[in-house]
Amino acid sequence: MVAEQDSAGQGPRPIDVALLASVFVIAACGLLYELAAGALASYLLGDSVLQFSTIIGTYLFAMGIGSWLSRYFEDQLPAHFLRVELMVALVGGALPAVLFLANAYAPGAFRFLLYGMVMVVGTLVGLEIPLVMRILKRNASLKDLVSKVLTFDYLGALAVSLAFPIVLVPKLGLVRTGLLFGFMNAAIAVWALVLFKHELRNLRAHAWACALVLLALGGGIAGADQLTRLADDHFYQDRIVLSSSSPYQRIVVTQGRQGARLYLNGNLQFAQSDEYRYHEALVHPAMAAHGAPKKVAVLGGGDGMAVREVLKYPGVESVVLVELDPAMTDLFKSNAMMTALNGNALNDARVSIVNTDAFHWLQQSTETFDVIVVDFPDPTNFAIGKLFTNSFYSLLDKRLAASGYAVIQTTSPLIARQSFWTVVQTVESVGLTAKPYHVHVPSFGEWGFVLASHRPWREPGALPAGMRFLTLPTLRLMFDFPLDMARVPTEVNRLSNQVLVNTYEREWGKVEH
């Protein structure tokens, strides 16, 4: 890196090199706190587009406030810079831990803390760069100063934007990552203490402040797992036996008197005590009706439970499981407790796992399948909502054999009645025949599914051995809808409007959890 040469032709001053390097770290830390806040809001509040949009907007607004306030810092600029770095280190570094604890112990205060801390961190980060530029301006022209500071600022942002989803969250988790970057901000303050020790009026006080902040953040890093476990243990009813964070979601498995439960981003995905009801109802109406399915695709369902049910048909030759998050499939393929639940289905020789976005996979695939099981989470945000659109079902149509059946997990027709029938309407809009049905799963209540095909669904004459819930008479009853779940007029869910996400949020928002 090249710093400004003075009029005498001398090389870069060490102090300028150090300050420009600090700009890189400052930018990386500032963006990390913004990404962490957005990720946490998406994990805990849902609707990733809304959460990231509001977090980024709030953060940038706060940075503008900080930049405006920098005009009032005139004397002792190095001392102000050092103190700002320590405050950013404490507030930004502690942000993920504080928000996790707030979600567990004071959920009513979560949003206030979220946006309050984002405002504080954004304001402090907005102060950092103007202070650095004014310190550097002592020995540099404005043109070169701006270009170099902004270059290092953007490079720092690029570095952390790549490292955050690929390395930091998967390897360290959000709490430890936040504390680590807070430690880096504090290290910049120590650097400033050394560089400007002759300008600081109260060197001892600043040194003690640096030491205390570093000690607090270092202790937090060492105890990050305990902090996360403390929040999780309070939030979940049963004992946590496994927890991890991936770039896509937070995965928690608990164990209680009724067995294991899987939670993704705090939302229950299955309970061991009754998951068989859900998965038998999901898989067998399509598989048994086909008669002789050989090629099957399962979209979503990274826990392998749907695959377990598919493999009950001896004629099945191949199963492709398309799951976005490799952390899910790795867990349910290798963990002994999880493989016991799914019958070791993901290690079956007939099963191949593809970790990619199902929408893109359908676009690129040229295969056709006898049965396609669509087991995505409910459309809580636009990223998932695209998997419930007419564009997605048009792609599904192309991958479905002429005699094949697809089945789609479709939320509760009782609680989210309009959402359920929106999916039915959307399936029909692409020319597929839709056959809706429902089943009672104690952990979830009344739950709905939709069969989609090129031909009318026919009632199967037999089911495979090993059923715990489903029988032919029971199956027949699932297609009857009482008055309070009967069809209502709805719109088609399109990529361009995603009406389903808003409808779903409105309907489930009426339910007190």
The answer to whether 480 is a known ligand-binding residue is no
The answer to whether 357 is a known ligand-binding residue is yes
Residue pointed to by tokens 């990733």? 48
What CA–CA distance (Å, rounded) separates 506 from 385?
Answer: 14
Q: Which residues contact 441 (CB under 8 A, 6 or more apart)?
A: 274, 277, 278, 281, 447
Nearest to 184 by CA among 21, 328, 322: 21
How do beta strands 295-300 and 318-322 pair? parallel
Neighbours of 178 (CB within 10 A): 32
What CA–CA distance (Å, rounded) separates 40 from 98?
Answer: 11
Nearest to 363 by CA among 321, 389, 398, 409: 398
Q: How many residues does the chain have?
A: 513
The answer to whether 358 is a known ligand-binding residue is yes
Helix H, strand E, coil C: the string for 5-49 is CCCCCCCCCHHHHHHHHHHHHHHHHHHHHHHHHHHHHHHHHCCHH
What is the pLDDT, as a whole number, of residue 334? Answer: 94
What is the pLDDT, as a whole number, of residue 5? Answer: 44
> Is 300 in contact with 358 (CB distance < 8 Å)?
yes
Question: Any catalytic annotation for residue 375?
Answer: yes
Nearest to 216 by CA among 391, 399, 94, 40: 94
Q: Which residues contact 434 (CB under 8 A, 6 or more apart)?
A: 424, 427, 428, 450, 451, 452
Tens digit of pLDDT at every position of the chain (513 positions):
334 444 444 555 666 666 677 778 888 888 899 989 988 887 777 666 778 889 999 999 999 999 999 988 888 888 998 999 999 999 999 999 999 888 888 888 888 999 999 999 999 999 988 887 787 776 555 556 567 777 777 888 888 888 888 788 878 888 899 999 999 999 989 988 988 888 888 889 999 999 999 999 999 999 888 887 777 777 787 888 888 878 788 888 999 888 999 988 878 889 999 999 999 999 999 999 998 999 999 999 999 999 999 999 999 999 999 999 999 999 999 999 999 999 999 999 999 999 999 999 999 999 999 999 999 999 988 888 999 999 999 999 999 999 999 999 999 999 999 999 999 999 999 999 999 999 999 999 999 999 999 999 999 999 999 999 999 999 999 999 999 999 999 999 998 888 998 899 889 876 544
What is the pLDDT, as a whole number, of residue 143? Answer: 56
Domains of the chain: 14-235 (1.20.1250), 239-269 (no CATH), 273-509 (3.40.50.150)
Nearest to 279 by CA among 402, 136, 439: 439
The letter for the amino acid at 31 is: L
> Is 235 in contact with 266 (CB distance < 8 Å)?
yes
Determine which one of 375, 378, 480, 484 is catalytic: 375
The answer to whether 402 is a known ligand-binding residue is no
With b meaning 16 or more CB within 10 Å and e meaning fewer, what string describes 38-71?
Answer: bbbbbbbbbbbebbbebbbebbeebbeebbeebe
Reading the block at residue 3, the tokens are: 């710093």
What is the pLDDT, as a whole number, of residue 145? Answer: 59
The answer to whether 97 is a known ligand-binding residue is no
The answer to whether 360 is a known ligand-binding residue is no
